[in-house]
Structure 1
C-alpha cells in the first residue's frame, strides 16, 4: 500500500527541545464572523492536547504559504469555503526551526461548519466574550488576548495619490493620469500579498509576533487623474474638488466601520486632520513605494 501522507506530516524537534507537528511548520485559521463570533474546534481526544478547544489548522506542505495552508486545513477539517476567507493579519510563533502561523481573517460568506474528518469532536461559532469560558488549547489560550483586538479592527490604507506620485521626480507631471494608473497598478500587483505591520501602525513591541497585515486599499486621486478607475481589490476614489477633503472623508468612513486606518501622505496638515478623526497611523510616501513592485 502506498503512503499518501504529505511529507510535511511529521513530528519535528525545535530548538526549544519540544516536539511539534509539521515538518515545514504549521498554520491555523482564526476566522471571525461579526454576527456569530469565531470558529472554534473541539479537538479529538487522541490529538495533541485532545479535548481542548482551538482553531482549525495543521501541518504546512512544502513551499506552501501560511494563508494557503490555514485555509486548506480549515476546509479539510471544518468545511470552510476556500473562497470564503479574507485574511487580515498574520501572527507567527517561532520555536526555533518550527513556526506556527495564525491567520486572522474575516468570513466573507455565511456557512455552517461541518466535521469533515476525525480530528474534531465539535465545531462551533463562539461569541468573542465567551471564548475564555471554554477549556482552550494552551497555545491558543496564550495568544487569544493578543489576537482578539485584531478581529474587530481590520487594516486599511488610504493613499494620497497626488502626494505619493509627486514624491518621485520621474516625469509624472507630463502625464498625471498615467502616473496615477501606474501607482494603482503597482498596488494591485501585490496580488493580496501582505505588507509589513509598520505600514498600518503596528509595532513588534506592542503586538509581538504580528509580522504581516492584509489591508483594504483606497487610492484617492484628484485633478486630471480623478477619473482613474478602480481595479481588482484597489478602490480608486476621485476627489470632486480638494483631494485632502476626500481623503479625510474616506478615512472617517473607514474608521466608523471599525477599521484600523493608515494614511500615506507627506502633507503635515493632512496628517493632523486624519489623526484627529481616528487614523491609527500616517506614513510617508517612501515607506509605501519601497514595498511596492517596481
Structure 2
C-alpha cells in the first residue's frame, strides 16, 4: 500500500506479526532473506492481513506459513498496535504453551531461531521491530489478572438472578471467558490484553464449573486467550476475594479487582490490587 505522502507499507489491509515468547528459550525471530523489505535484518514472522481478517488470526496464520508454528502451541496474551491512520501493524504477543521447533517453510527466511530475551537487541533488527522492542520487552513481565466479585456483579442487574443464582453465575463465567480488555482499563502498556480471570462465587453458586473454551472457531490453530478459573468461597465471599487478590499480587501479577462494594474495595487495595473497577465497568466491557 502507498500512503498519500508516498510512504510504502506492506499490506492493503494492514499487517501483523507474532511475538512467540518461550520463557525457557526466548523470542522466536526470523532472519529475513536479502531480497525482502529490510532484508538481512531480524524480525518477527508476520505479513499482510486479508480483507476482514482479525489481526490476531492473521499473525498466527503468517507465523504458521513462515515458521511452521504448530496448531495449539501459543496462547495470546496481549496485542500492541502501531496505527498510522492509513495503515496499521499489530504485534500479537503470545505465550508458548507447547514447545516447538520452528521450520523454514517459505523463501522469506534465511533462519529461524529462539533468541534469549537479553540477546534480542544485539541482533541487527528490522527497524520497526527494533523501535518497538524496548516497550515489548518490558511488557513481557506484566501479567494482568481480574479477580471478580461474582455475587456483586450478578446482583447489580435486576434480571431475576435471585431465582437461579447458580445459573446467573454460570452465565457470567461464560461471558468472561476469553475477555479482552483495553490496556488503559488495566493501567498497563500495550493495546489490548487477554487477562487471566478468577471468578469468586459463594453460596448457591459454589457448584458451578469453569467454562470449557475450545479454540477460536475462526482460528482453530489458536488456543483460547485468557481463561476463567472458579474460586469457591468456603465462608465469607469477601474474605475469599481478598485472599485471591493477595495471592496473585504476591505472585507478581498486576491484579485488577472488580467489585462495587466500597468496604471490599478498601480491603483489596490493601491486599495489593493495582486497579479497582466497579461491577458496572465490567458489564460495559463484557460481550453481550
TM-score under structure 1 normalisation?
A: 0.87
Tell me how far 1:73 sits from its aligned partner.
0.6
Where in structure 2 are the equivalents of 1:150-189 lying within 5 Å? Answer: 150-188=139-177
- The answer on 1:287 being equivalent to 2:281 is yes
Secondary structure of the structure 2 residue equivalent to 1:13: coil
- Please give the alpha-carbon distance, in whole angstroms, between the structure 2 residues aligned to 1:268 and 1:16: 52
Secondary structure of the structure 2 residue equivalent to 1:157: strand
Secondary structure of the structure 1 residue equivalent to 2:209: coil
Q: Any conservation in 2 of the 1:160–1:220 contact (CA below 8 Å)?
A: yes
Residue equivalent to 1:243: 237
- Please give the alpha-carbon distance, in whole angstroms, between the structure 2 residues aligned to 1:69 and 1:45: 24
- Shift in CA distance, 178/282, structure 1 to aligned 2, threshold 3 Å: same
Residue equivalent to 2:217: none
Tell me how far 1:218 sits from its aligned partner.
1.4
Where in structure 2 are the equivalents of 1:37-56 lying within 5 Å? Answer: 37-56=26-45
Q: Any conservation in 2 of the 1:27–1:103 contact (CA below 8 Å)?
A: yes
Of 203, 208, 214, 1:223 maps to 203
- Please give the alpha-carbon distance, in whole angstroms, between the structure 2 residues aligned to 1:131 and 1:272: 42
Residue equivalent to 2:13: 24
Q: Any conservation in 2 of the 1:263–1:281 contact (CA below 8 Å)?
A: yes
Where in structure 2 are the equivalents of 1:178-217 lying within 5 Å? Answer: 178-188=167-177, 192=178, 194-202=180-188, 207=189, 210-217=190-197
- Please give the alpha-carbon distance, in whole angstroms, between the structure 2 residues aligned to 1:198 and 1:258: 19
Unmatched 5+ stretches in structure 2: 213-226
- Shift in CA distance, 144/186, structure 1 to aligned 2, threshold 3 Å: same
- The answer on 1:260 being equivalent to 2:240 is no
User: What do the CA deviations read for 1:78-126 (whole angstroms, capped 9, x no partner)?
Assistant: 1111311111111111122211000011011011111111111111111
Unmatched 5+ stretches in structure 1: 1-11
Where in structure 2 are the equivalents of 1:71-82 lying within 5 Å? Answer: 71-82=60-71
